[in-house]
Amino acid sequence: MIYFRAFLVGGLICVTGQLLLLFTDMTSARILVLFVTLGVLLTVVGLYQPLVDFGGAGATVPLTGFGYLLAEGAKKAVEEEGVLGALTGGAAAASGGISAAIVFGYLASLLFSSKTKQ
């Protein structure tokens, strides 16, 4: 069942992150950077696609999936448009998520106030 596989794969990817939090002094920002880069790298060597086929959203929802999206986008665009696609493909594929984060982030800052001041 795909939901169980998504749970399993997504959970294990998060466990990897938790291991880094526990045993290294990496901050969450560094872990996110590492995961997105690792996602690109694993996609390039062909290891991430099988994980996506098996785990569905369990592989695409973690930040490594963001890297997968970037790498796949770049590859597809290069096939269609040549070298210019290397520049446009990744960002274009990820643009929905990036714009959503910016717009919803801005709206949240208008509507809500941070509680850390208290």
Partner 1 sequence: MQQKEYEKLVKAKSPKSKVILPLIKAFFVGGAICTLGQGIREIGEKCLSLDEQAAGCFTSVCLIFLSALFTGLGLYDELGKFAGAGSIVPITGFANSVVSPAMEFKREGYVMGVGAKMFNVAGPVLVYGISASVLYGVIYWLVLLIGGKL
24 binds partner 1 (CB under 8 A): no
CB of 104 to partner 1, least distance (A): 4
3-state class (DSSP) for residue 26: coil
Instruction: Tell me which residue of 73, 61, 45 sits closest to 13, measured CA to CA.
Output: 61
Size of the site for partner 1 (CB under 8 A): 81
Q: Does 25 bind partner 1 (CB under 8 A)?
A: no
Report how far residue 82's alpha carbon sits from residue 1's, in angstroms, rounded to the nearest whole number: 39
Site string for partner 1, 69-98 (x = CB under 8 A): xxx-xxx-xxx--xx-xxx-xxx-xx-xxx
Q: Is 102 in the site for partner 1 (CB under 8 A)?
A: yes
Tokens in use for 102?
């910016």
- Encoding tokens for residue 106? 């801005």
